[in-house]
Amino acid sequence: MSVVPLDHFTLDNENMSTASTTRTPDGRPARDSRFDRRLAEILDYAAEIFADKGYQGASMRDLSRLSGFSLAGLYYYFESKEELLYFIQHHTFMTIIERLRERLTNSNHPEERIRIFVQNHVEYAIAKPKAMKVLSHEDDVLKNGYGAELAAIKRDYYRICVGLVDDLMKAEGLKLVAGDAAASGCIRTRTAVMGLFGMMNWLYTWYNPRVDPGAEILAPEISHIFLQGMRADRTAGGNSRASVIRSERTKAMGHPKKPLSPRSGRSSLAKNKTWQEEMRKTGKELRQ
C-alpha cells in the first residue's frame, strides 16, 4: 500500500478544510479552490457516514448516496475507503495542531498556554463532533504506512500537552512524577494529561448545543477543573495531595465490615418485624 505524500494536500486553517495544491510555472504552490471545497465537503460527508455506521459497516456507495457525488467522482479524490479514513483523521489532527501552534505563539504564560490548548481542542470538538467520533472509534483501523504516520502525529500532539503541563508544574513549584506514583503519593504526568484528553475527547458523546454552552464557556470550565486538580496541594483544605491520594487508595482497597453484635442483630430483626406487622394492619384497614 502506498501512502499519498503529505505535500499533495495542505490545510486551510481558516475554513477547516483540506486543500489540494498545484504548481505555478515558477514552482510556487497555487490553491485550487474548487477542488478544495469539494474535497472538504466529501470529508464532512465521510465523517458522518463513518461515525454513524462505523468503518467496517460503511461503504463508498453509502457516501455516494449521502453526498450526491458519483462513485467515479469519489474515486477521483480517493483511491479507497481506507485512504478516505486516513485523510479524515490526518486532516482533523493537523488542523487542530496547526491552529494550536499558531495560537501558542501569542502567550508565554504557562497557565494561559494550557487554557489555549483546551480552548483550541474544545472548539474543534464542538464544531466537528462526527470527525471526533471517527478519531475515537476508528483510531486503530489503519495499518502500515497510514497507521504509522497517524500514530506519529498523535504522539506529537500528546507531547505538546505534556510539555505545557511540565511548564506549569515548574513555574508554580508543583510536583508530578513520570513513573510510578504509588510511593510518592503524587499524580503521574501521564495520568494528568490523559485525564485532560478524556474530558475533551468525549464531548461528542454528551455535548448538546440546546442546553450546553459554547466553547467560550465550556473550555474555561474544563481548564478550571484540570488546573484545580493540578493544584490540589493548595486547595485540599490543609491536606496535602499525597495524603489525599493515600487516603483514597486506602478506601479503594476496602476494609472488612465490622460484624453486627447479637444485640444489634436482634434490634434490627425486631424493627423489621414491627414494620411488617404495621404494614399488614394498614392493608387490612384499607380492604375493609
Residue-level pLDDT at 37: 82
* Cα first-last separation, the chain: 83
DSSP string, 72-124: HHHHHH-SSHHHHHHHHHHHHHHHHHHHHHHHHTT---HHHHHHHHHHHHHHH
Helix (H) or strand (E) holding 10: strand 9-12
Query: What cell does 149 get?
Result: 504516520
Greatest C-alpha distance within the chain: 102
Name, in order, each residue with C-beta under 8 angstroms of 54's C-beta and a sequence gap of 6 or more.
137, 138
The type of residue at 238 is G
Distance CA 273, CA 270 (A): 5
Which structural domains are found in the chain, ordered by start? 6-235 (1.10.357.10)
Q: Which amino acid is at 10?
A: T
What number of residues does the chain have?
A: 288
85 Cβ contact list (under 8 Å, min separation 6):
46, 50, 55, 134, 138, 141, 142
The stretches of 105-206 forming alpha helices (DSSP H) are 110-127, 129-137, 144-172, 189-201, 203-206
Q: If we measure between CA atoms, which residue out of 221, 224, 223, 241 comes closest to residue 232? A: 241
User: 42 is written with which cell numbers?
Assistant: 466529501
pLDDT of residue 183: 55
pLDDT of residue 273: 56
User: Which stretch of DSSP H or E encloses residue 31?
Assistant: strand 29-31
pLDDT per residue, tens digit, the chain (288 aa), is 433 333 333 333 333 333 333 333 333 334 457 777 888 889 999 999 999 999 999 999 999 999 999 999 899 888 889 999 999 999 999 999 999 999 999 999 999 999 999 999 999 999 999 999 998 888 778 877 899 999 999 999 999 999 999 999 999 988 776 666 555 667 888 999 999 999 999 999 999 999 999 999 999 999 999 999 988 766 544 455 455 445 554 554 555 445 545 454 455 555 555 555 655 565 555 444
Q: What is the DSSP letter of 224?
A: H
DSSP letter, residue 12: E
**pLDDT on residue 186:** 74
Q: Count other Cβ atoms within 10 Å, centred on residue 9.
A: 19
Considering only CA atoms, which of 80, 100, 145, 126 is closest in space to residue 221?
126
- Nearest CA to 241 out of 165, 162, 195, 175 is that of 175
Is the pTM value of this prediction over 0.85? Answer: no
Residue type, 93: F
pLDDT at position 61: 94
Residue 38 CA to chain centroid, in angstroms? 28
Q: Residue 56 belongs to what H/E stretch?
A: helix 33-57
